[in-house]
């Protein structure tokens, strides 16, 4: 009888194993449904309605908040039937710009269309070139676009596009983002509130060196240079133009200072008469918030100045109040954490609105009376995001969200309703609707995304708290292999980034772990990630600890993580690998070369190897210019340590990489040759800074095979 029962257990185990879904590289890199199905374009369309597109991308819903009534506003097939045959290439809803609860506009295939509910009509209002490099709609449906580096504006009355500039080129660009998307810059076109004026960047790159990238599909291969300002070299010259749509008048702001200063966080005053610009010196240790007359371009005044002995990094423009347009809210890290400050437009500081050892990560909005400010912050734990309401009359705050996870919100235009969004380690996505008057009450509408990994056996994940040498708390994520057996010894893959502006470990879906890490745990690896000093959302001291010495403290913190792993009885300390991309590629290579023997195997994708070769904007913020910090640059230059390599290293680089240019890896390869060290190198000839699309499966296969093969040699 006992044998029969044992046979039953074996068969049951095999049956369960056969039913278990398997993570595959093809599935995690393809459109396989393994990612949470979140509604797209969730937004308020007026004070009473919000809309969203379902996870299929084919149905647009409108919800009346008061009654939580959902109705189908439009289906994608119906929209496609309204579009001329030659333009019916829509596979999903485009980005929608709502004009009211029953009408929206969108850009598609060279046209600006407007749809109206009730009549169910679609008409085109403007045209733009399909090859446009940038497009921007005003709230009043004015359209500006950039083609061949020149700026155009569609004139509604004339029914044609008018050229604002004529001399655009690769060296002289109009209307595109400046400063390589640093300082919170995401675009180069800025409409005034009433759509009567357009501010834009004019970027002169004639003094910026060309960097040669090669198109290997041409015969012979062709040089396709990009403008790339390397650390310490000549940078771009940025100006801000203002075009008056009604008068066709063009002026440029009379900015003062060196040609290579930064002009960031462009913001219109509520009335559209003034522009506010955060002016940052090239050294990036001083910021001046300046006011300009938008009609003449004349400089009016500097409202205030912020300085820091290391660097300042303004990433948000002023948020003006509507009922009191002479006041605005300003983000600043001046007290060591990112907080909110209330200013008068004269430059007078009225109040510090938030304070404490946490980061305000986002302003959600203000209610109609502007009595309450809603914001998201890390208060309580940097692993979470919580939503707060601040009474601007007495600065009393109320927590509107609770529990571990990432809480955020969308406030209705009047502030009467609030949509809370939430994701947690085991919660892919939730939306909850609240009425927000005298009492904060939950309404019937709710949405929960199904778990896309139901039926898959994943490794158990936990957050680990460690300490740096100076006692600074560090957070790490540990994923045990699926089917974990504490009596076994498992190999380790450490996944690392470690640089500014990134936080990998937090209480989001799967604790922030990408599916490739779950896949590797399924292959029998302990997968470990630690956010070292220098990474994001921990305050200025935590981030600035790496100033002028990138790669040093970060490695010490990562070494603390390895020391912890070595205390675990199920870790095979003789089979440990490290993998990272970009700054993570720099870190993985640094750990292999500057901490020889710490890991047996390393994989570095798109690695920074010499900060002298990196761009002006980012590189000079954290390292200063190379001739001002020779010791720091030499200490962080990886070629200097090539002879110390122990173990096996694979370097991967996209040869079209205009972020971490291929010269980084080429210098390192030459150093390995000189040191008589054999390493592995894999180029992706057609890819930029990362490998995306169908080739990503190929990339992951290379990484997995290399780590498996080389670690098994140590088994």
Helix (H, G, I), strand (E, B) or coil at 510: helix
Q: Is the pLDDT of residue 18 over 70?
A: no
User: What is the pLDDT confidence band of residue 5, given thresholds at 50, 70 and 90?
Assistant: very low
Q: Is the pLDDT of residue 405 over 60?
A: yes
Per-residue tokens: 418: 């609030």
User: What is the pLDDT confidence band of residue 484, given thresholds at 50, 70 and 90?
Assistant: very high
Q: Is the pLDDT of residue 362 over 60?
A: yes
Q: Is the pLDDT of residue 6 over 50?
A: no
Would you state the pLDDT for residue 2?
44
User: What is the pLDDT confidence band of residue 714, given thresholds at 50, 70 and 90?
Assistant: low
Would you state the pLDDT for residue 84?
84
What average pLDDT does the segment 410-438 reach?
A: 95
What average pLDDT does the segment 686-707 reach?
A: 97
Alpha-carbon gap, residue 388 to 399, rounded angstroms: 5
Residue 358: HSE in the Cβ half-sphere, 13 Å Cα cutoff: 20
Q: What is the mean pLDDT of the chain?
A: 94
Which entry of 138, 401, 412, 582 is annotated as an active-site residue?
582
Q: Is the pLDDT of residue 261 over 60?
A: yes
What average pLDDT does the segment 578-586 reach?
A: 98
Alpha-carbon gap, residue 250 to 393, rounded angstroms: 42
Strand order in the sheet with 286-293: 262-268, 274-280, 286-293, 299-307
707, containing H or E segment:
helix 695-712
Instruction: Return the axis-axis angle of helices 553-566 and 583-594, rounded to nearest 10°.
Output: 70
Per-residue tokens: 448: 């929960």
Per-residue tokens: 585: 């590629």
CA distance readout (Å), 660 to 295, 312, 583, 618, 690:
40, 23, 9, 12, 10
Active site residue 62: no
pLDDT digits (tens, 9 = 90+) for 199-222: 999 999 999 999 999 999 999 999
pLDDT digits (tens, 9 = 90+) for 80-139: 999 888 777 888 899 999 988 889 999 999 999 999 988 889 999 999 999 999 999 998
DSSP annotation of 642: G
Which entry of 207, 680, 689, 714 is annotated as an active-site residue?
689
DSSP annotation of 21: B
What average pLDDT does the segment 642-650 reach?
A: 98
Among 499, 520, 498, 506, smallest CA distance to 477 is for 506
375, containing H or E segment:
strand 372-377
Helix (H, G, I), strand (E, B) or coil at 492: strand
What average pLDDT does the segment 261-271 reach?
A: 98
Active site residue 689: yes
Alpha-carbon gap, residue 129 to 163, rounded angstroms: 12
What average pLDDT does the segment 558-586 reach?
A: 98
The answer to whether 343 and 269 have CB atoms below 8 angstroms apart is no
3, containing H or E segment:
helix 2-19
Q: Is the pLDDT of residue 13 over 70?
A: no
248 strand-pairing partners:
none
Alpha-carbon gap, residue 343 to 362, rounded angstroms: 18
Percent of the chain with pLDDT over 70: 97
Q: Is the pLDDT of residue 12 over 60?
A: no
- What structural domains and CATH numbers belong to the chain? 39-127 (no CATH), 461-712 (3.40.50.1820)
Among 612, 605, 573, smallest CA distance to 588 is for 605
Alpha-carbon gap, residue 713 to 366, rounded angstroms: 60
User: What is the pLDDT confidence band of residue 548, given thresholds at 50, 70 and 90?
Assistant: very high
What average pLDDT does the segment 407-436 reach?
A: 96
DSSP annotation of 38: P
Q: Is the peptide bond before 220 cis (omega within 30 degrees of 0)?
A: yes
Would you state the pLDDT for residue 101?
84
Would you state the pLDDT for residue 1?
43
141 against 550, higher pLDDT:
550
Show Cβ contacts of residue 229 under 8 Å, excluding neighbours closer than 6 positions. Answer: 205, 208, 209, 235, 236, 615, 616, 617
Query: Can you give 101-117 as a three-state secondary structure string?
Result: CCEEEEEECCEEEEEEC
Alpha-carbon gap, residue 172 to 586, rounded angstroms: 33
pTM of the full structure: 0.95
Pairing of β 274-280 and β 286-293: antiparallel
Pairing of β 262-268 and β 274-280: antiparallel
The answer to whether 646 and 623 have CB atoms below 8 angstroms apart is no
Active site residue 316: no
CA dihedral 306→311→317→318, nearest 10 degrees, is -30
Would you state the pLDDT for residue 439?
80
Q: Is the pLDDT of residue 17 over 80?
A: no
pLDDT digits (tens, 9 = 90+) for 41-69: 999 999 999 999 998 889 999 999 999 99
pLDDT digits (tens, 9 = 90+) for 680-693: 999 999 999 999 99
């Amino acid at each position: 009888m006992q044998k029969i029962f044992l046979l039953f257990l074996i068969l049951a185990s095999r049956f369960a194993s056969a039913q278990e879904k398997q993570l595959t590289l093809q599935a995690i890199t393809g459109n396989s449904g393994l990612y949470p199905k979140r509604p797209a374009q969730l937004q308020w369309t007026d004070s009473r309605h919000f809309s969203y597109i379902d996870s299929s991308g084919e149905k647009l819903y409108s919800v009346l908040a008061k009654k939580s009534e959902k109705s189908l506003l439009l289906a994608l097939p119906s929209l496609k039937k309204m579009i001329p045959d030659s333009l019916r290439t829509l596979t999903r809803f485009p980005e929608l710009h709502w004009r009211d609860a029953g009408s929206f506009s969108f850009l598609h295939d060279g046209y600006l269309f407007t749809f109206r509910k009730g009549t169910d009509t679609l008409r085109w209002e403007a045209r733009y070139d399909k090859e446009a490099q940038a497009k921007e709609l005003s709230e009043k449906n004015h359209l500006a676009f950039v083609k061949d580096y020149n700026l155009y504006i569609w004139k509604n009355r004339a029914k044609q596009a008018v050229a604002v500039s004529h001399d655009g080129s690769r060296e002289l660009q109009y209307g595109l983002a400046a400063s390589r998307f640093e300082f919170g810059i995401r675009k180069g076109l800025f409409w005034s509130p009433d759509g009567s004026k357009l501010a834009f960047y004019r970027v002169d790159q004639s003094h910026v060196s060309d960097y040669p990238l090669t198109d290997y599909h041409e015969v012979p291969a062709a040089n396709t240079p990009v403008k790339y300002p390397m650390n310490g070299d000549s940078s771009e010259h940025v100006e801000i133009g203002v075009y008056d749509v009604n008068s066709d008048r063009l002026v440029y702001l009379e900015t003062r200072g060196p040609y290579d200063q930064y002009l960031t966080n462009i913001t219109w005053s509520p009335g559209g008469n003034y522009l506010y610009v955060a002016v940052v010196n090239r050294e990036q240790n001083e910021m001046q918030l300046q006011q300009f007359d938008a009609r003449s371009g004349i400089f009016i005044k500097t409202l205030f100045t912020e300085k820091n002995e290391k660097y300042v990094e303004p990433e948000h423009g002023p948020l003006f109040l509507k009922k009191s347009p002479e006041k605005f809210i300003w983000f600043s890290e001046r007290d060591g954490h990112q907080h909110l400050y209330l200013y008068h437009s004269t430059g007078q500081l009225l109040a510090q609105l938030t304070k404490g050892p946490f980061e305000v990560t986002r302003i959600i909005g203000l209610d109609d009376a502007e009595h309450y400010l809603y914001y998201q912050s890390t208060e309580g734990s940097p692993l979470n995001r919580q939503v707060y309401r601040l009474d601007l009359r007495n600065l009393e705050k109320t927590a509107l969200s609770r529990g571990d996870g990432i809480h955020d919100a969308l406030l209705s235009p009047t502030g009467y309703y609030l949509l809370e969004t939430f994701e947690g380690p085991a919660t892919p996505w939730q939306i909850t609707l609240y009425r927000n008057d005298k009492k904060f009450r939950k309404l019937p509408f709710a949405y929960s995304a199904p778990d896309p990994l139901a039926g898959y056996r994943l490794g158990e994940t936990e957050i680990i708290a460690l300490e740096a040498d100076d006692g600074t708390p560090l957070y790490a994520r540990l994923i045990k292999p699926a089917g974990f057996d504490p009596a076994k010894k498992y190999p380790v893959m450490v996944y690392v980034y470690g640089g500014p502006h990134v936080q990998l470990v937090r209480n989001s879906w799967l604790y922030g772990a990408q599916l490739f890490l779950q896949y590797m745990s399924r292959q029998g690896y302990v997968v470990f990630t630690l956010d070292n000093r220098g990474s994001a959302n921990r305050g200025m001291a935590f981030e600035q600890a790496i100033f002028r010495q990138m790669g040093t403290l970060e490695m010490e913190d990562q070494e603390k993580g390895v020391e912890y792993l070595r205390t675990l009885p199920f870790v095979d300390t003789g089979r440990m690998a490290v993998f990272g991309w970009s700054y993570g590629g720099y870190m993985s290579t640094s750990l292999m070369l500057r901490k020889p023997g710490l890991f047996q195997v390393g994989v570095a994708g798109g690695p920074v190897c010499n900060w002298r070769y990196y761009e002006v904007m980012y590189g000079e913020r954290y390292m200063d210019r190379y001739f001002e910090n020779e010791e720091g640059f030499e200490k962080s230059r990886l070629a200097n340590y090539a002879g110390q390599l122990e173990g096996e290293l694979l370097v991967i680089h996209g040869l079209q990489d205009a972020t971490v240019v291929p010269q980084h890896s080429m210098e390192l390869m030459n150093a390995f040759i000189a040191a008589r060290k054999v390493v592995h190198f894999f180029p992706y000839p057609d890819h930029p800074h990362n490998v995306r699309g169908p080739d990503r499966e190929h990339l992951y296969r290379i990484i997995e095979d290399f780590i498996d093969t080389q670690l098994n040699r140590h088994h």
